[in-house]
Amino acid sequence: MCLVQPKQFPNADATARACGADDILFNAQVFDSYEESLKDYSLVFGASARQRMITWPVLTPTACAEQTLQIQAPVAIVFGRENSGLTNKELEHCNYLVQIPTDENFSSLNVAAAVQIIAYELRMAEFKHNSLASSSLPTPVSAETMEQLYQHLEHTLIDINFLNPNQPRLLMRRLRRLFNRSQLIDSEVNILRGILTAMQEKHKM
Ligand code: SAH
Which atom of ligand 1 sits closest to the CA of residue 85?
13
Residue nearest to atom 11 of ligand 1 (CA): 111
Q: What is the pLDDT of residue 56?
A: 82
Angle CA 147–150–156, to nearest 5:
145
Q: What is the pLDDT of residue 43?
A: 92
Kindly list the structural domains of the chain, giving each domain's residue range(s) and its CATH number in brackets, ordered by start.
1-32 (no CATH), 143-204 (1.10.8.590)
Nearest to 189 by CA among 162, 159, 134, 151: 151
Cβ atoms of 89 and 54 closer than 8 Å: no
Q: What is the pLDDT of residue 170?
A: 93
Q: What is the pLDDT of residue 129?
A: 86
For residues 67, 68, 74 and 80, what is the CA-based torsion angle, rounded to 10 degrees? Answer: 110
Mean pLDDT of the chain: 92
CA of 65 to the centre of ligand 1 (A): 17
Strand ranges (E), the chain: 2-4, 29-31, 43-47, 58-59, 75-78, 96-98
- Provide the pLDDT confidence category of residue 54 given band limits of 50, 70 and 90: low
Tens-place pLDDT, residues 144-156: 999 999 999 999 9
Cβ atoms of 141 and 182 closer than 8 Å: no
Gap between the Cα atoms of 58 and 54, Å rounded: 9
Q: What is the pLDDT of residue 182?
A: 86
Residues with CB under 6 A from ligand 1: 47-50, 79-80, 82, 84-86, 98-100, 102, 107-109, 111, 114
Tens-place pLDDT, residues 90-125: 998 999 999 999 998 999 999 999 999 999 999 999
Q: Is the pLDDT of residue 198 over 80?
A: yes
pLDDT above 90 covers a percentage of the chain that reads 81
Which atom of ligand 1 sits closest to the CA of residue 107?
22
Gap between the Cα atoms of 118 and 62, Å rounded: 8
